[in-house]
Amino acid sequence: MKVHHITVSGFFREEALAEGRRLLAGLLPEAELCEERLEPETDGCVFTTPLYSLKAVVSPAKKAELFLEKILGGLGVEGRKELANSLAARIDEDCNLYIMLGKKQLSEGKIALYTRDPIHLKVKLACFPKSMENALSIAQELIGKDG
């Protein structure tokens, strides 16, 4: 196994919460969604109205790998190339691979990389020993030779 688990999350305003639930349920029909209300910030004012965090974990490892295959397949050759070209910036020191998918594209039944207001995928790579070099190698294998 090359993946331990995948955490899928997104932030939604109250008026978009139902759509967010629908999006994540469509993406992860078997997963249990956790919902958290985030109160507006008083300092810094990054957001001034309540936000809702929706999160689900895809595990065990076999289900996580199948889910990742579905996502990577949906990206197509160009999306996987874009992902492959930015791997070093998408992997942290704990061997997590971060992928951001467009909410609008998901609502249209498509899978595409996106950076503004995305659905976040945090892929916990199975690296032994834990190192950036091993994580990059595993991520490249997962993306495949088309990437």
Q: Tens of pLDDT along 29-78?
A: 888 999 999 988 766 667 778 899 999 999 999 999 999 999 999 999 99
Average pLDDT of the residues of the chain: 91
| Sequence-distant (≥ 6) Cβ neighbours of residue 81 within 8 angstroms | 146, 147
Judged against a pLDDT cut of 70, whether residue 145 lies above it is answered with: no
In the chain, % of residues over pLDDT 90: 80
Report the CATH number at residue 25: 3.30.1440.10
Reported as a pLDDT band with limits 50, 70 and 90, residue 146 is very low
If we measure between CA atoms, which residue out of 90, 126, 130, 136 comes closest to residue 3? 126
pTM surpassing 0.85? yes
Query: Which parts of the chain fold into alpha helices (H)?
Result: 17-27, 61-85, 87-90, 103-107, 132-143
Judged against a pLDDT cut of 50, whether residue 112 lies above it is answered with: yes
The residues pairing with 55 across neighbouring beta strands, listed in sequence order, are 9, 34
Domain of residue 105 covers 3-143
Count of beta carbons in the 10 Å neighbourhood of residue 8: 23
pLDDT tens per residue, range 113-143: 997 889 999 999 999 899 999 999 999 999 9
Q: How far apart are CA 51 and CA 129, in angstroms?
A: 38
Domain count, the chain: 1
Q: Are strands 51-58 and 96-102 parallel, antiparallel or unpaired?
A: unpaired
